[in-house]
Structure 1
Amino acid sequence: MHRTVQISLPSSDSQGLCDELAALETVVGVSLSKGISIKPPGDVVTVDVLNKGADDVLKLVRAASEKHEISVTTSEAASFIDPKNSEKIEDDVDEAIWEEMETGLRHQGRITWNFVFLMALGGAICAVGLVSEPAPQAIAFAAAGIIAPGFEPLAKIPLGAVLGRWNVSRNGAVSSLVGYAVLIASAALVMFILLKTGSVEPVELVGNPEIEHIAHPTLKELIVSGAAAFAGILIIAA
């Protein structure tokens, strides 16, 4: 999707930034509203830019932020109608920008009660799946993968490294450790209850072929796992 970037900045720097933004080929429109920003005080610059040029816009904004107090918001524009630039608009790409990915993962990968409970529920479902027949087992594993939000914290680790935001990587690592510790503890507790109540026999767990696949993955399992992980990254970046 195309992007609209709104920048609040001091009046002394707004015109210069507008001139730099207007010079970018991927910028479709620039507007300047004088004196309407209350916090931070100053002007508001609104930029309509093609998605592939959003990073160039944010680079200019980042350079301006080193000199002045600036507030920036980004949003997706449903469509741009500009007959003179129709070819450029049609050739635009649909990718998330780094800042939006970081913001999305920041909210999704935090340690909250919802996060903890969902990881625990995912672990409980996995435990039942390990001692189920093949069809219910596949359903249980798929359901646990959807319910347990374990991917987003892991994705924050490389994203923080790419952006040089080590606090993002650290938060992702902590969330992953806490989340998967809860998942494992929940799965162990459910399995303990199933065994103690006689609902399952130990042989059902030990003799389950899926246990062997998890403990000693073959190339087939590694390909499926790697492809799924890569697909998750592409979904976040889309």
Structure 2
Amino acid sequence: MLHLRVVSPVDRTDGVLDLLGAHPGVTHVVLLRGAAVDPAGDVVEADVAREAADEVVASLCALGVDRSGGMTLEQVDTALSDAADRAEEAVPGDGADAVVWEELIARTGEESRLNATFQAFLTIACLLTAVAVVTDSPVTLVGAMVVGPEFGPLAAIAVGLVLRRWDLVRRAGTALAVGFPLAMLITAFGAWLGSRADLFDRDLALAGHQVDFVFEVGPFSLIVALLAGAAGMLSMTSAKSAALVGVFISVTTVPAAGYAAVAAVLGEWDICLRSVAQLAVNLVGVVVAAALVLALRNRRGRRRDVGRPLSSG
């Protein structure tokens, strides 16, 4: 279930109540007259079955509530109510499979912004990769994969391509185009300082070890990227968000970027170029698979809604 809160202008509250009351996937409707201060109006709250949320939000937007008032959606972890059970049973589909498009756009839009936090996480992840390379530590490499925030912009690009939201594509593309080179430059500087301070042995760092798979580009590089992209998008569009951690550990985007920086400092340009190629393969593979999954889910959702008009006040 999702908890919906609507700030409604007084002249549209009756329409909002009629819309929510008529929809079988809505329950626990609460009206607070005059409770909203800015923007002024009434507050209407309700619990909505996840399968019905996209339709309900679209209907409220058709009433203009999003322009003259506002809406928020929150995940309800536990709902102990026969009315809630009936609402979930009354709408077709399963909550775990339902896509709330506005929620997805808002989430990917927020995670695709180039800001100090995104850049800091990406840089730390690349630096962790550098440590993993020079210390031959797969555990540290896994830590770098988990810390890396790059799936957010990749998912945003996929969403933007499928929904033709070019603003999302531009924003996410900028985050990746600026974020990765900057993180790699900082990592290269850190590796250079480490070599100057004799923190690691160059020959040992270049010797064959357990993290060499990062720059070994092959068919499985693309296969893993495609599978990770598909799993990541399924996770973001359903209630199975915990699966995202597994996606982060699967793809070698951040490790490839960090390895390329270290290899460049050590003058190993072949390894550097292969690492960059690995990075490109993973980025493209994740976006392609995520976009395909999202396109299929979008198509299924539209087929299900054919002939089912939106509720209106």
Hey, what does 1:39 align to over in structure 2?
Answer: 38
Hey, what does 1:218 align to over in structure 2?
Answer: 218
Total equivalences in the alignment: 233
> Helix, strand or coil for the counterpart of 2:95?
coil
Q: Give how far 1:172 is off.
A: 1.3
Pair 1:147 & 2:147 matched: yes
> Helix, strand or coil for the counterpart of 1:12?
helix
Q: 1:110 aligns with which of 113, 118, 131?
A: 113
Q: Give how far 1:50 is off.
A: 0.6
Mean alpha-carbon deviation: is it higher for 75-84 or for 5-14? 75-84
How far apart, in 2, do the equivalents of 1:32 and 1:3 lie? Answer: 17
> Helix, strand or coil for the counterpart of 1:141?
helix
How far apart, in 2, do the equivalents of 1:29 and 1:205 lie? Answer: 63
Q: Give how far 1:7 is off.
A: 1.2
Closer/same/farther in 2, CA of residues 67 and 81 from structure 1, 3 Å limit: closer
Answer yes or no: is the 8 Å Cα contact 2:48–2:87 preserved in 1. no
How does 1:1-238 map onto structure 2 within 5 Å?
2-65=1-64, 69-83=68-82, 86=85, 88-89=87-88, 92-94=94-96, 97-133=100-136, 136=137, 138-198=138-198, 199-201=200-202, 204-205=205-206, 210-211=211-212, 213-237=213-237, 238=239
Mean alpha-carbon deviation: is it higher for 87-96 or for 29-38? 87-96
How far apart, in 1, do the equivalents of 2:68 and 2:236 lie? Answer: 30
Mean alpha-carbon deviation: is it higher for 154-163 or for 192-201? 192-201
Q: Give how far 1:144 is off.
A: 1.0
Amino acid in structure 1 at the alignment position of 2:228: A
> Helix, strand or coil for the counterpart of 1:169?
helix
Q: Give how far 1:52 is off.
A: 0.6
How far apart, in 2, do the equivalents of 1:68 and 1:174 lie? Answer: 29
Answer yes or no: is the 8 Å Cα contact 2:28–2:83 preserved in 1. no
Mean alpha-carbon deviation: is it higher for 101-110 or for 119-128? 101-110
**Dislocated runs of 4+, deviation >4 Å:** 194-198, 206-211, 213-216
Amino acid in structure 1 at the alignment position of 2:38: K
How far apart, in 1, do the equivalents of 2:193 and 2:67 lie? Answer: 60
TM-score, with length taken from structure 1: 0.81
Q: Which sections of structure 2, spanning at least 5 residues, go unmatched? A: 240-313
How far apart, in 2, do the equivalents of 1:170 and 1:131 lie? Answer: 35
Q: Give how far 1:132 is off.
A: 3.8
The structure showing larger relative contact order (alpha-carbon pairs under 8 Å, at least 6 residues apart) is: 2
TM-superposition CA deviations, 1:82-106 (whole Å, max 9, x none): 4366355368513562333333344
Answer yes or no: is the 8 Å Cα contact 2:54–2:99 preserved in 1. no
TM-score, with length taken from structure 2: 0.63
Q: Give how far 1:166 is off.
A: 2.7
TM-superposition CA deviations, 1:153-209 (whole Å, max 9, x none): 222222234444432322211111122112221332233344445533257437568
TM-superposition CA deviations, 1:50-80 (whole Å, max 9, x none): 1110001101111111896121111122344
How far apart, in 1, do the equivalents of 2:53 and 2:182 lie? Answer: 39
> Helix, strand or coil for the counterpart of 2:63?
helix
TM-superposition CA deviations, 1:21-72 (whole Å, max 9, x none): 2222211233333333222222222222111100011011111118961211
Closer/same/farther in 2, CA of residues 115 and 82 from structure 1, 3 Å limit: closer
